[in-house]
């Protein structure tokens, strides 16, 4: 099987600048496993992560529906990274995300917290691949890309597990066009 992990994160965010002393941190990791050989999505996973240096704002809750109480029940970022490596073979499988935000956020947060980076070096920016395959001048957001591809938005936008599921559909769309 040719498995790839599709990853999407949600992070603490604010309408403007972060409050003093707070930084954006991952609070949800969505992961969908795709079998590229079979052209199927195998499973959708969700990991809640308890932030250490920030709080979930009202703006963040409105955007993602995640609450402080909900993420307080999550695991630490270090535990989440270990879970990605052990349960999802993230350090051995190729992976993709919509743009470079997710990869960069993991890099920043691992560097700050002294946590081992959980992914392989084999990363694909699915947004860039989609833009090139469709001959677009501007890189679309995930919801717009689904429209361009004629695919439905499944679940709730700005939820890690649902967004990874939808990005996986876009990856399979690209595969069907021999553009993956």
Rounded to whole angstroms, the Cα distance separating 99 from 81 reads: 20
Contact 47, 29 (CB under 8 A): yes
The model scores a pTM over 0.85: yes
Domain that holds residue 19: 3-176
How many angstroms separate the CA atoms of 130 and 22, rounded? 34
Domain count, the chain: 1
For the beta carbon of residue 83, count every other beta carbon within 10 angstroms.
18
- pLDDT tens across the length of the chain (180 residues): 699 999 999 999 999 999 999 999 999 999 999 999 999 999 999 999 999 999 999 999 999 999 999 999 999 999 999 999 999 999 999 999 999 999 999 999 999 999 999 999 999 999 999 999 999 999 999 999 999 999 999 999 999 999 999 999 999 999 999 999
Q: What is the pLDDT of residue 1?
A: 63
The CA R_g of the chain, rounded to the nearest whole Å, is 16
Beta carbons within 8 Å of 75's beta carbon, 6+ residues apart? 47, 48, 49, 50, 83
State how far Cα 39 lies from the chain centre: 20
In whole angstroms, what is the distance from residue 13 CA to residue 55 CA? 9
CATH number reported for the structural domain that contains residue 43 in this entry: 3.30.420.10
């Amino acid at each position: 099987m040719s498995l790839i992990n599709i990853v999407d994160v949600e992070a603490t965010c604010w309408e403007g600048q972060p409050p003093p002393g707070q930084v954006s941190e991952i609070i949800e990791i969505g992961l969908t496993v795709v079998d590229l050989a079979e052209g199927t999505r195998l499973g959708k996973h969700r990991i809640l992560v308890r932030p250490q240096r920030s709080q979930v704002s009202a703006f963040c809750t409105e955007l993602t529906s995640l609450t402080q109480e909900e993420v307080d029940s999550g695991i630490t970022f270090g535990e989440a990274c270990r879970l990605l490596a052990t349960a999802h073979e993230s350090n051995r499988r190729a992976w993709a995300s919509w743009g470079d935000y997710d990869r960069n956020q993991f890099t920043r947060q691992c560097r700050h917290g002294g946590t081992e980076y959980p992914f392989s070096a084999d990363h694909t920016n699915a947004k860039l691949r989609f833009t090139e395959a469709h001959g677009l001048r501007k890189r679309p957001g995930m919801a717009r890309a689904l429209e361009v591809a004629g695919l439905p938005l499944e679940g709730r936008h700005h939820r890690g597990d649902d967004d990874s599921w939808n990005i996986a559909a876009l990856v399979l769309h690209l595969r069907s066009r021999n553009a993956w």
